[in-house]
Structure formats: C-alpha cells, structure tokens
C-alpha cells in the first residue's frame, strides 16, 4: 500500500537537492566546487536518511500533539512536509558541522515555501528578505523559534486561500 506521506517526502527531497544545487550555482561558477557541494549534499542525505526521518517524525509528532492538530486521513499537509523535513535535514547538518550546507538547506526551504505561497498570490518579498537575512546571520531558530517560521507561512497561505 502506498503511503502519500512517504511519496511527498521523496518528492520534497528531490526538490531540496535540485534547489541546493541551483543556490550553490549562484555562489560559485567553479565546477569542481559545485560538484563537491552536490555530492556532499546527496551523500549526506543518503547516509543520514534514518536520522532525518526520525527527527522529522519526532518534531512533527510533538507539533501535532502539542497543538492538537489532526491531519486529514493521516496525510500531512504540504507545509508540514516541507518545513519538518527541511528542518530535520538542517538539524542533522548542524550536528555534523556542515555550516555551508545548513545555509543552503535553509535557503532551499525558504524557496520551497515561497513557491507554494506564490500559487495563492501570498508571497511577501520583505518577509523573504528578512528570513534570508536571519539565515545568513545564523539566527533563524533564535529569531523565529521552533515552529514560528512554519506557522507564519501556513497562516499566510491559509489566509490567501480563504480570500479567493
């Protein structure tokens, strides 16, 4: 039996890999450096997928239980999938001291959330700049807390959908 949560997570992992690669291209044109970043990221995900999955499930379970949220048909909405998977990858990268990849991962998450907001006309360029600055300054968790970034984007998305 297919599990939509796993299918969504796999699709999201592909998006993160592609986006990290594109973001790295904005930083350098050196093919050897880009290749190294792409290989390091892909290898990291492959070797740490169990820890990433455990972290994602743990944080998601905490969020769902603490805020008494019940996913429809036990399928997580896309924002939960994006945010909790993206942050689980970030946490594992931080544990292993991969600071450069942490920044790329967080920027990839920001990009994915913005892509989704764009579909309902809710993108906020000033918010993106502020989040990007927080990422660059290593302050995303301090400034936005454990779930603040997720809640902010989810509320923007829901409000835009309700206006339509």
Block residue for tokens 């300054």: 137
For residues 114 and 131, the answer to whether their CB atoms sit within 8 Å is no
Nearest to 119 by CA among 69, 74, 79: 79
Give pLDDT, residue 29: 83
Name the burial class of residue 159, with classes exposed (0-12), middle (13-18) and buried (19+) by CB atoms within 10 angstroms of its CB: exposed
Block residue for tokens 């792409």: 38
Long-range contacts of 63-72 (CB under 8 A, 24+ apart): 63/147, 63/150
Give pLDDT, residue 1: 61
CA distance linking residue 54 with residue 65, whole number of Å: 16
Q: Which residues contact 160 (CB under 8 A, 6 or more apart)?
A: 117, 120, 121, 122
For residues 37 and 101, the answer to whether their CB atoms sit within 8 Å is yes
For residues 135 and 104, the answer to whether their CB atoms sit within 8 Å is no
Q: Model pTM?
A: 0.93
Q: What is the pLDDT along the chain (164 residues), one digit of tens a residue?
A: 677 878 888 899 999 999 999 999 988 888 998 899 999 999 999 999 999 999 999 999 999 999 998 877 777 788 999 999 999 999 999 999 999 999 999 999 999 999 999 999 998 999 999 999 999 999 999 999 999 999 999 999 999 988 87
For residues 60 and 50, the answer to whether their CB atoms sit within 8 Å is no
Give pLDDT, residue 76: 78
Three-class DSSP labels, 79-101: HHHHHHHHHHHHHHHHHCCCHHH
């Amino acid at each position: 039996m297919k599990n939509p949560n796993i299918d969504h997570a796999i699709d999201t992992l592909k998006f993160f890999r592609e986006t990290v690669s594109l973001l790295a291209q904005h930083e350098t044109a050196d093919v050897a450096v880009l290749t190294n970043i792409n290989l390091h990221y892909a290898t990291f995900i492959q070797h740490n997928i169990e820890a990433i999955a455990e972290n994602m499930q743990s944080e998601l379970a905490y969020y769902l239980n603490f805020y008494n949220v019940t996913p429809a048909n036990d399928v997580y909405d896309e924002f939960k999938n994006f945010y909790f998977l993206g942050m689980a990858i970030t946490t594992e990268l931080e544990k292993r001291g991969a600071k450069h990849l942490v920044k790329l991962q967080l920027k990839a998450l920001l990009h994915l959330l913005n892509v989704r907001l764009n579909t309902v006309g809710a993108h906020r360029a000033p918010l993106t700049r502020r989040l990007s600055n927080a990422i660059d300054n290593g302050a995303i968790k301090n400034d936005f807390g454990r779930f603040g970034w997720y809640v902010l984007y989810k509320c923007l998305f829901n409000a835009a959908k309700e206006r339509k």
